[in-house]
Structure 1
Amino acid sequence: PTLELVDIRSVSEIAHKAGALVICDNVFATPIFSRAVEQGADVVVYSTTKHIDGQGRALGGVVCGTRDFVRKVLEPYMKHTGGSMSPFTAWMHLNGMATLDLRCRAMADSALTVAKALAAHGKITRVIYPGLESHPQHALAMAQMGSGGTLVTFEIAGGKEAAFRFMNALEIAKISNNLGDAKSIATHPATTTHQRLPQDQKDLLGITPGLIRLSLGLEDADDVIADLEQALMVA
């Protein structure tokens, strides 16, 4: 949730020298902003539940690789384990791809606008967004993705209690662990996606009690900002 980037090209060069395959989970970056294969990755995986579906309708995932990898490695595994997507889910997610580019670019534009607004708010102690120049990997994000992506993470003063008051007061953004949806989604990583991590690991990763991950949807950015501001008033 702290939106750290991996230099895919550099990692791929190191891995390939050692004879290793590079598998890239590209779900946060999306296929719109990250061409991981062109940057050296051998296999790219996506949770199609996220941006590709775009409406949180069904669970799914895809593994993208060479024909040789799919036929010799992936296909035998799938045949023995039975982990295949239903035809109806595949149809829904394929339909989602028709608007994927439009949705991701609109979400990323909103994310940058929202990140700038949050950075200027007195109750926010930290804003993490690769599209901001304040992000330590901003240059890498621009070179590798050309965008900061659709997610913004920020920390609210007051810890868990303030974070929960904030989330419960939201009227536009929904509370969920999902992301990449047409609707904006707020997540409290410390008690949901990363709740099983020991506290020392959370501290190491910067997952604090006041940390919120916001996945921007397709709402007007000004409406989202107004919603965040009214919720921060009671945080």
Structure 2
Amino acid sequence: MSVATRLLHSIPVDEQTGAIAVPIYQTSTYVQEAPGVNKGFDYARTGNPTRLALENLVATLEGGHAAYAFASGLAAIDAVVKLLSAGDQIVAIDDIYGGAFRLFEHVYRRLGIDIVYCDTTNAENVAKTITDKTKLIWLESPSNPTLKVSDIAAISAIAKAHNCLLCVDNTFASPILQRPIELGADLVVHSGTKYLGGHSDLIAGIAVAKTEELAKELKFIQNASGGILGPFDCFLTIRGIETLPLRIERTSTSALEVAKFLETRPEVARVYYPGLESHPNHEVAKKQQSGGFGGIIALALTEDTIEAATKLVTSTKYFKLAESLGGAKSLLCHPATMTHKSIPAPTRQASGVADGLVRLSIGLEDAADLIADLAQALDQLAAAKEEHVVTKEGELVVA
């Protein structure tokens, strides 16, 4: 059975009415026959039929024992970190999402959890960084925003040898292209806001556990902390997932075309896209992803400045300047001043997030139109540079 067929037929038909779409159970509580005697639900923070349908669907897609839906991707990350205790250590990818960095550094570090970062694209770096305090290895693969790809199976073996957990943020690839649990991961997280929802109309997070034991711990944390996803947003996420295979196929195909075009432009010093043979982790991506390489591209401008990047991101027509990614409309952003602004500049730059780096989220528009849009924006960038001449004294004058 194909992934698309299995996905669609993992969404249950409502037993009570026969509704083919999962109903929105907009209720806070449930009537009980007697104390503790109910139809499987007692209070909506603990459980909701719409949320359960979403959680079961994502667990099936990722091949996990169970999944849990949270109010945001960061809330899902937060739940995973709560599996740890003061004195424990996380080994995390250096090219990490700015929100995760902020959570790790400004919340959990002061609560006694240590975090160290390394380039996880070389599994030996992970092995060298682990200590006897390490309890969790944190990967994004591909990473945000430079699309580093880590060998999940190799790092899983290292994690098991050191008796620590491996969690993979699978937001960029989605379970259509990559299933980390099958590669040895213990936990998977998603910003459901992105590809799972797919329409830029909700905020959601998902955490998936490989084993029953981890699932019980995550369920306890979800109920105890209360950062649940509401029923209407669960409904929207299920609706988005129904078209996930088609959207991933289209955006992956278009992204490869756009990436190849960007490699031809002199204004672009480097293109980050795992589908390109020039990508340093291309072979690893081919090994652990199937059906494409996703819809996210990053480009480093030859003029590595915030000013040049700002000029580019404000010159496009179809690409809209906005936070987030994975929606039907193409977006672009400047990580240094947007998504990764919370990371200190030296740390950010050391991990590859340069001032002149721009991230693209390829949508469902025609690839030729997106290429034309980027071409005219890059032309404007080149023209703006030519308009200025630097004198010998270093003064900037208009030619």
TM range (shorter): over 0.9
**Distance in 1 between the 2:349 and 2:195 partners?**
29
Q: Does 1:207 align with 2:348?
A: no
Measured against aligned partners, the alpha-carbon deviations of 1:163-197 in whole angstroms (never above 9, x if no partner) come to 11111111001111201111111010111111122
| Map of 2:296 onto structure 1 | 151
2:344 to 198, 207, 210: 198
Work out the percentage of aligned pairs sharing the same amino acid: 40
One-letter amino acid of the counterpart of residue 26, structure 1: N
Query: What is the one-letter code of the residue matched to 2:373?
Result: D
CA 1:42–1:71 in structure 2 vs 1: closer, same or farther (change >3 Å)? closer
TM-score (norm 2): 0.57
Alignment of 1:91-130 (within 5 A): 91-130=235-274
- Cα offset, 1:107, TM superposition: 0.3
1:116-171, CA deviations, whole angstroms, 9 ceiling, x for partnerless residues? 00000111111111100001110001111133221111012332212111111110
Post-superposition CA distance 1:62-109 (Å, at most 9, x none): 111246245520111111111111000000000111100000111011
Structure with a larger share of its residues in helix: 1
Q: What SS does the corresponding residue of 1:62 show, helix, strand or coil?
A: strand
Using a 3 Å threshold, how does the CA distance of structure 1 residues 68 and 129 change in structure 2: closer, same or farther?
Answer: same
**Paired residues for 1:156-167 under 5 Å:** 156-158=301-303, 159-167=305-313
Cα distance change of structure 1 residues 70 and 93 upon mapping to structure 2, 3 Å threshold: farther
| Pairing 1:38–2:169 present | no
Query: If the length of structure 1 is used for normalisation, what is the TM-score?
Result: 0.96
Map of 1:65 onto structure 2 = 209
- The residue aligned with 1:178 is 324
Residue 134, structure 1, aligned to residue 281, structure 2: no
Structure 1 segments (4+ residues) deviating >3 Å: none
Gaps of 5+ in 1: none
- Aligned residues, how many? 235
Asked if the contact 1:132–1:148 (Cα under 8 Å) also holds between the matched residues in 2, the reply is no
Residue 13 of structure 1 pairs with residue 168 of structure 2? no
The worse-fitting range, judged by mean Cα deviation, of 64-73 and 87-96 is 64-73
Q: Give the aligned partner of residue 388 of structure 2.
A: none
Change in CA separation of 1:211 and 1:228 when aligned onto 2, cut-off 3 Å: same
SS of alignment partner, residue 332 of structure 2: strand
Change (3 A) 1:91 1:70: farther
Q: Hey, what's the Cα distance between the residues in 1 that align with 2:209 and 2:283? A: 28
Structure 1 stretch displaced more, 60-69 or 169-178: 60-69
Could you tell me which amino acid in structure 2 is paired with residue 150 of structure 1?
Answer: G
Asked if structure 1 preserves the Cα contact closer than 8 Å seen for 2:194 and 2:200, the reply is yes
Q: Distance in 2 between matches of 1:99 and 1:203?
A: 36
Q: Structure 2, unaligned stretches of length 5 or more? A: 1-144, 382-399
Query: For structure 1, which segment, 192-201 or 103-112, has the greater mean C-alpha deviation from structure 2 after superposition?
Result: 192-201
8 Å CA contact 1:47–1:60 kept in 2: the answer is yes
Q: Quick one: which of 147, 152, 172 aligns to 1:3?
A: 147
| Matched residue type, 2:293 | G
Name the aligned partner's letter for residue 152 of structure 2: I
1:173 and 1:185 in contact (8 A); partners too: yes
> Is 1:221 the counterpart of 2:354 in the alignment?
no
